[in-house]
Amino acid sequence: MDPALSTDVPTGRAVAYVFDGLTRFTPDAKVVPGLAKSWDVSPDGITYTFHLRTGVKFHDGEPFGAKTVIYSFQRVLDPKTKGGRGWPLYPIKGAEDFAAGKATDFPGIAAPNDSTVVFTLKEPLAIFPKLLAMPVTSMVPSQATDLGQKPIGTGPWKFVEWKHDDYLRFAKNPDYFDGAPKADSLMARIIPEMSTATAEFEAGNVDVLTVPDEAGKSWQADPEKSKLLQSAPALRFWYVAINVTRGPLADPRVRQALNYAVDVNTILNVVMAGRGTAAAGVVPPSLPGYDANRKGYTHDVAKAKQLLAAAGHPNGIDVELWAATTDQSPRLSQAIQANLAEAGIRAKIVQRDASSVREAARKGASDLYVKEWWADYPDAENFLFPLLHSKNKGPGGNVSFYANPKFDALVDQAHREQDEAKRNSLYTQADQLQFDDAPMIYLFFYKDMYAVQPWIHAFQVPAVFNGQRWTDVTIGK
């Protein structure tokens, strides 16, 4: 549970219980002050000054101050930490050289006094405060020796015990600076098999459960169970990455044909029990930059065939459709395969374990790759930049290997733009540009569904994975 090593969603959630960053997310994905009371940006967008809370102590009594910020960030980047997740701090001047072991200090961070931290960025980056709410940028005490097993933070929950592969237990931090949690303790059960987790919920042993996709429909139809359901759009995006460098897929007409061939709404209803909203672009409807006027590719087999013929493939094409064996990937890939076949696109499904599929896709060895993207922070940039910017080809997240200088320029410009409205308009333009180029089959934005026992109050489904910290939740009839 060491924040510096956290790369997956469950760890990220637990980190948000015990630790604080300078900023944090609310369940509805707003960025609010965390350990920083407020922050100012210089007019050129290069210098960020964070005013820290005073009098905050870690669970072990160590005081939090500006030095903690410097220590925590150096620790994340330090090659000795062997963490692979330093990128949210790379915008800070000198951070990348420090992480590569080329420098022993990085000049972009300074502490003029114990309650102020000043960051100098390489170039203006309006989303910088959002990056500081990620698990990896949490504040850690300098005295702690084993954060992985015994995490110590400033957060609302104190770590009590971790029975590996069984559960994690936390107790409320009565001194939490933002008001102590209303419940006394919090337990996260680790149950790998969803049917078992569902049985635990039905037996009343689990208070809040993420409802598995396959159970969604039957629970919604059950008059008793449907009362317990809560759902909200999540910042999770399902799509099929199209490798634009491979054979016929280099032609945008072919990629558009793929989009016309797939019947997203039917797939959404049948495979996903209606849990999602069909996508028209990569920016989700809940984020600024989304364009409500843009219509997605309709399901139009004739049009798909026509586009294929125009691209010189009247007899269709052969592609490999890669999918992991986990989640809904196998079922989605089968549905997509059947849709594509109607339009004369012969897709061969290649099913491997998640790790192998990802490796192949990052190397550029897959034609099509059914995948999901979980946002790290609530911003259109977190979809446009990692998934489609040419800088991020391969391991960076752009497994479509899409490279469009115009698109890159728009996203780069948005990075530097300080004006919120202008920035969002750049996002909308960039999204439109790539949507026409179709470097992916746009499937849907996922909707999280939770089952909540009647005795649990004030639970809110978080839009971003680490947005629910259980501080307002109460237990009682």
Partner 1 sequence: MFAFIVRRLLLAIPTLFGVLIVVFLLLYVAPGDPVQEMVGERADPETIARLRKELHLDEPLLNQFTHYTGGVLRGDFGNSYITQRPIIQDIRERFPKTLLLAGSAMLLASVLGITLGVLSARNPGGWFDRLGLGVAYLGISFPVYWVGLILILVFAVMLRWLPPSGYGGIKYLILPALALGSRSIAFLARVTRSAMLEVLGGDYVRTARAKGLKERVVIVRHALRNALIPIITVLGLDFGYYLTGSILTETIFSWPGLGRYVVNAITRRDLPAIQGSVLFLSVVFVLVNLLTDLAYAKADPRVAYS
- Residues interacting with partner 1, by CB under 8 A? 5, 7-8, 79, 82, 84-87, 90, 96, 99-101, 148-149, 163-167, 189-193, 195-196, 199-200, 202-203, 205, 352-356, 358-360, 362, 373-374, 376, 386, 392, 394-397
Q: Which is nearer to partner 1, 172 or 358 (CB)?
A: 358
SS3 427: helix
Longest dimension (CA), the chain: 71
- Least Å distance, CB 349 to partner 1, is 16
- Least Å distance, CB 463 to partner 1, is 18
Cβ–Cβ under 8 Å, residues 154 and 138: no
Q: Which is nearer to partner 1, 53 or 358 (CB)?
A: 358
Q: Which is nearer to partner 1, 100 or 270 (CB)?
A: 100
Q: Which is nearer to partner 1, 84 or 285 (CB)?
A: 84
**Cα separation values, 306 from 165, 244, 310, Å:** 53, 20, 6
- Least Å distance, CB 112 to partner 1, is 31
- Least Å distance, CB 87 to partner 1, is 6
Question: Cα(236)–Cα(462) distance, rounded to whole angstroms?
Answer: 12
- Least Å distance, CB 200 to partner 1, is 5
Residue holding tokens 């004739």?
302
- Least Å distance, CB 385 to partner 1, is 9
Cβ–Cβ under 8 Å, residues 378 and 464: yes
- Least Å distance, CB 390 to partner 1, is 13
Q: Which is nearer to partner 1, 117 or 197 (CB)?
A: 197
Question: Cα(295)–Cα(289) distance, rounded to whole angstroms?
Answer: 15
Question: Torsion angle, CA of 176/181/182/184, rounded to 10 degrees?
Answer: -100
Q: Which is nearer to partner 1, 195 or 226 (CB)?
A: 195
Q: Which is nearer to partner 1, 164 or 295 (CB)?
A: 164
- Least Å distance, CB 163 to partner 1, is 6
Q: Which two tokens stand for residue 104?
A: 């022993």
SS3 386: helix
Note every long-range contact of 309-317, with CB atoms under 8 Å and residues 24 or more positions apart, other chains counting: 310/253, 311/248, 311/251, 311/253, 311/254, 311/257, 313/248, 313/254, 315/344, 316/343, 316/344, 316/345, 316/346, 317/247, 317/248, 317/254, 317/344, 317/345, 317/346
Q: Which is nearer to partner 1, 28 or 200 (CB)?
A: 200
